[in-house]
């Protein structure tokens, strides 16, 4: 009872209600909440303390940044969802906050697009700077198994390297990316690498242009750490997969290289294996034991490969 009263007290305050309405659109860093709500950081921190103590938000410190998000389940989440269902989406403050949120997200997207357009030409060299690309690629091929695939989709394809890597394993492949420069280079690489049956096009991995259940292999190689909503990208990949299809994600294990945020547009400093597994399971996938390739540099960057298969629907055979 006391917990419920504390939660209701915490929620019953205008700024805190606005924070919850914002977090319903996905996780946000403290700096972003400050920008959107136009509050000082100390004031925001006081509100976040209340919300965290009441179990209405989760606090996720990551290097110099702190992220907040709504709990994925439980009483706190049920309470937030139920209270937010009474908040009108047309309320002027809610509308203004949503507009500010869209501006903040658009600015980040533009900065990331500029970065990738700038680095596209050197990307095939840059890829191996933080971890030996050959080691990752052979581990990835091994984890993919001997199976051949009918239709591969590569999320955030960049210069198309994943498509070239898997070229003997699929009949058709499509890659999507938001950087036109990367896509131009990918087209040329796919031609040089002689990959018939493969193409790339402009598309956002948050809302990809693919129909449900068309692919039997989806790859997401070094893309999730740029994302505002990495969990949503996993769900989108699961949507595109056929039952029985395979998702392979490669990303950094948690690290402390803040310069990757400041100089290379990373948003997340790697991912805990468990966190990614939770997203995989929540998206209807069955994860296998992840493989971690330990750090080989002073930077301490380790790489993890997650493999998961989409569960067939009950009464349906796997692809
Ligand atoms: C680090 S590069 C990795 C490229 C490729 N997967 C590789 O490993 O070489 C990340 C790529 O994701 C793309 N990207 C970032 N956000 C995206 C989004 N929302 N939708 C599609 N592509 C995105 C970038 O343009 C960039 O080409």
Per-residue pLDDT of the chain (319 residues; tens, 9 = 90+): 888 888 899 999 999 999 999 999 999 999 999 999 999 999 999 999 999 999 999 999 999 999 999 998 899 999 999 999 999 999 999 999 999 999 999 999 999 999 999 999 998 888 777 788 889 999 999 999 888 999 999 999 999 999 999 999 999 999 999 999 999 999 999 999 999 999 999 999 999 999 999 999 999 999 999 999 999 999 999 999 999 999 999 999 999 999 999 999 999 999 999 999 999 999 999 999 999 998 877 777 899 999 999 988 766 655 4
How many beta carbons lie within 10 A of that of residue 312, not counting itself?
14
Distance from C-alpha of 277 to C-alpha of 280, rounded to nearest angstrom: 5
Is 182 close to ligand 1, i.e. is its CB under 6 Å away? Answer: yes
Give the start-to-end residue ranges of the domains of the chain: 2-87, 123-310
CATH superfamily of this structure's domain 123-310: Vaccinia Virus protein VP39 (3.40.50.150)
Cite the beta strand spans of the chain per DSSP E.
Answer: 28-29, 58-62, 65-69, 149-155, 170-177, 198-202, 215-221, 241-252, 285-287, 291-293, 303-310
The alpha carbon dihedral of 187, 193, 194, 195 has a sign of: negative
Pocket probe for ligand 1: among 126, 177, 225, 261, the residue whose CB has the most ligand atoms within 8 Å is 177
What atom of ligand 1 comes closest to residue 205's alpha carbon? 20
Any idea which fold 2-87 has?
A: Arc Repressor Mutant, subunit A (1.10.10)
Is 116 close to ligand 1, i.e. is its CB under 6 Å away? Answer: yes
Could you check whether 2-87 and 123-310 share the same CATH topology? no
């Amino acid at each position: 009872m006391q917990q419920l009263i504390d939660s209701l007290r915490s929620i019953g305050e205008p700024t805190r209600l606005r924070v919850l309405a914002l977090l319903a659109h996905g996780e946000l860093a403290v700096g972003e909440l400050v920008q959107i709500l136009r509050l000082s950081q100390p004031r925001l921190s006081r509100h976040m303390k209340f919300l965290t103590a009441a179990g209405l938000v989760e606090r996720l410190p990551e290097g110099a940044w702190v992220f907040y998000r709504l709990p994925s389940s439980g009483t706190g989440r049920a309470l937030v969802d139920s209270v937010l269902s009474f908040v009108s989406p047309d309320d002027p403050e809610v509308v203004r906050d949503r507009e500010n949120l869209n501006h903040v997200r658009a600015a980040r997207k533009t900065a990331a697009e500029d970065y990738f357009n700038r680095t596209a030409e050197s990307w095939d060299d840059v890829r191996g700077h933080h971890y030996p690309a050959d080691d990752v690629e052979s581990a990835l091929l091994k984890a993919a198994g001997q199976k051949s695939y009918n239709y591969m989709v590569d999320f955030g394809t960049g210069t198309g390297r994943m498509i070239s890597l898997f070229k003997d394993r699929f009949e058709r492949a499509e890659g999507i990316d938001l950087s036109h420069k990367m896509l131009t280079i990918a087209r040329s690489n796919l031609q040089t690498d002689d990959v018939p049956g493969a193409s790339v096009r402009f598309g956002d991995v948050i809302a990809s242009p693919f129909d449900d259940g068309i692919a039997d292999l989806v790859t997401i190689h070094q893309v999730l750490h740029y994302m505002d909503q990495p969990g949503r990208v996993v769900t989108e990949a699961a949507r595109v997969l056929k039952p029985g299809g395979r998702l392979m994600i490669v990303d950094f294990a948690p690290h402390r290289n803040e310069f990757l945020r400041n100089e290379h547009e990373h948003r997340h400093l790697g991912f805990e294996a468990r966190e990614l597994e939770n997203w995989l399971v929540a998206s209807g996938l069955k994860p296998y034991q992840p493989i971690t390739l330990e750090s080989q540099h002073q930077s301490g960057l380790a790489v993890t490969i997650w493999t998961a298969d989409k569960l067939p629907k009950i009464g349906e055979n796997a692809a």
